[in-house]
Chain A
């Protein structure tokens, strides 16, 4: 049974609808990441679950119970906020134990639980300090401890790492995942950072303008993005798109310049259907000029150490290729690009949805465990 069910939830502020008919099931013990650009309604969705916002229409269920009318404290959720939201006048120990104090737990029990929780996040030496005397990472730990101590049914995280520096962010990310693996509480984690989302998630929910675009494991979403939007959002650097139309006779996509890109199989579409062809930078390969699917001009090469980012121009369309080779290319030179047919994604130019072809089959095979 799903721990959290979101059923046809709509949220409006006055006349503006910012969330429309959202459906989502989150299973018991799962770590779900809600991913989307700033302003797409991620926080709102989280706050609807927490009970910090009223639900305009639809239902939210937690552990099978409709919680629309319940106060946040009655929903059994704990939340970690972006700016930590620690009580500035309380010590770390008081911050961590405040929920228990409100719940009326006797002082002795409270103290022992605060100490145990502080120990689990490495805060034992800081219990008497005020939040103002802690570093960003330590404050983040206090915020975590404050959530953990309540042993909630559900953990809610609203971009909790975005105020940390890059190194600390990775460290806290691992720590959050480690804590989750230990206590296995259902977790919903909101972020706009796809690295964070991909690495943390059991299941990823990609949002766009108040709707859910796709739900699935990070690998599945990477391999089979359901729309142009998801394809462009997931993966870094972003997928390249080339407009064109289907040619049944030539078994491929004819680009606007007239070049033909052959496909692995014939999609079930009429001749001339407008599409966007998508290819990830890490899947296109550089070849000799004239030897590949298309030719392009070198604009700029960015050295990343382990690999290189080649920014090319094809008929004024920028194309990015990630390669581990070290080609000797000067700006303005012409190179060939090869698009392996199995790696090509097709999207309907009008609806933006993915056009299914046998790619799905190819990649499901790839997902099988490798037997040696």
Chain B
């Protein structure tokens, strides 16, 4: 429905501007706080115009949080999650849409249902698995009596162990499964005309060839959209890195580091809260996701509304 009346135009613009202000004011306040001295940021009333301490604060926050290596860590993890999610979602949707196998619908719905189970809900079992990724196999072997059999025959106690705590693998793997991505890909694959699939078959392309030569090039915009969303998602992860990484010096992630800078009773010990540093760090941490979104936005929007011309 497209209507153009002056009143409606004015109203829609007013609503848009109102929304923009609601979003921008906190960011502006964070920016202003990041440019103040310790005294200024803690004095009432709240300053609304920037001071001159931005670079000083940035440098101090950067050093305090050891952001250099932490940015590298986060970049590795976020990239790993993005690549993992895209690959997994793509081949899952490929199997679901283009192959006719028993239980296809069931599997699709099972994946779909996991949309309702975000990491936060299943964090305890996920942690248990991360502590020893082979636990499920161990359990199966114990239940079926294979462990007992092996022990009886060889005298060796079967105790499988693969610890993922404090590793990139442990940070990445549990975040890789994605019902959203699978769903997005599936919806796109369903729009591919049957004739195109058949033309490729007539041209002699097998399934993998078809995936590589035709489906993936055609889903470029979807990949870009998914990558953008998932990068921001992975970058902002807090709970999982907090749990799975105890070796913060080597595997710390930026958002967890950032939370350390947020002043509370524990960190300031009753001293003056260092909001100027927390806000300076916030600005830094925000930058990569913003950069990615700006860089990808053209693709991103096309991928989400799913119209390639």
Residues of chain A having any CB pair with chain B under 8 Å: 47, 50-52, 71-73, 77-79, 81-83, 85-89, 98-99, 102-103, 132, 146
Question: Do the beta carbons of B309 and A132 come within 8 Å of each other?
Answer: yes
**B contact residues around A81 at 8 Å (CB):** 195, 198-199
**A contact residues around B204 at 8 Å (CB):** 72-73, 99, 102-103
How many chain B residues sit at the interface, stated as a range, is 10 to 19
Question: Do the beta carbons of B193 and A83 come within 8 Å of each other?
Answer: yes
State whether the Cβ of B214 lies closer than 8 Å to any Cβ in chain A. Answer: yes
- Interface of chain B, main secondary structure: helix
With contacts A77-B202, A99-B203, A99-B204 taken as known, whether A85 is within 8 angstroms of B195 at the C-beta atoms is yes
A82-B195, A83-B195, A85-B195 given. 8 additional CB < 8 A pairs? A50-B202, A73-B203, A79-B199, A79-B202, A88-B218, A89-B218, A99-B203, A102-B209
Q: Please give me the residue from chain A that is nearest to B214 by CB atom.
A: A87
- Nearest chain A CB to B267 CB, angstrom units: 54
CA distance in complex: A73, B204 (Å): 5
What 0/1 pattern do residues 235 to 257 of B give for CB contact below 8 A with A?
00000000000000000000000
CA distance in complex: A73, B199 (Å): 10
Question: Do the beta carbons of B202 and A78 come within 8 Å of each other?
Answer: yes
Which residues, 279 to 309 on B, are CB-close (under 8 Å) to A? Answer: 308-309
27 contacts between A and B (CB under 8 A): A51-B201, A52-B202, A71-B201, A72-B198, A72-B201, A72-B204, A73-B203, A73-B204, A78-B202, A79-B198, A81-B199, A85-B196, A86-B199, A87-B213, A88-B308, A89-B214, A89-B217, A98-B205, A98-B213, A99-B202, A99-B204, A102-B203, A102-B205, A102-B209, A103-B204, A146-B199, A146-B203
Q: Please give me the residue from chain A that is nearest to B201 by CB atom.
A: A72
CA distance in complex: A73, B205 (Å): 8
**B contact residues around A47 at 8 Å (CB):** 198
Q: Please give me the residue from chain B that is nearest to A51 by CB atom.
A: B201
CA distance in complex: A86, B201 (Å): 13
Q: Please give me the residue from chain B that is nearest to A86 by CB atom.
A: B199
With contacts A102-B209, A132-B309 taken as known, whether A85 is within 8 angstroms of B193 at the C-beta atoms is yes
- Nearest chain A CB to B223 CB, angstrom units: 13
CA distance in complex: A86, B218 (Å): 12
- Select one of A73, A83, A89 contacting B201, CB under 8 A: A73
**B contact residues around A103 at 8 Å (CB):** 204
CA distance in complex: A82, B195 (Å): 8
What are the 7 A-B residue pairs with the smallest beta carbon separation, nearest first? A73-B204, A85-B195, A85-B199, A99-B203, A102-B204, A89-B217, A81-B195
**A contact residues around B195 at 8 Å (CB):** 81-83, 85
**B contact residues around A79 at 8 Å (CB):** 198-199, 202
- Nearest chain A CB to B70 CB, angstrom units: 39
Q: Please give me the residue from chain B that is nearest to A75 by CB atom.
A: B202
- Nearest chain A CB to B192 CB, angstrom units: 10
**A contact residues around B199 at 8 Å (CB):** 79, 81, 85-87, 146
- Nearest chain A CB to B308 CB, angstrom units: 7
CA distance in complex: A50, B204 (Å): 12
Which residue of B196, B203, B308 has the most chain A CB atoms within 10 A of its CB atom? B203
Q: Please give me the residue from chain B that is nearest to A79 by CB atom.
A: B202
**A contact residues around B308 at 8 Å (CB):** 88
Q: Please give me the residue from chain B that is nearest to A53 by CB atom.
A: B198
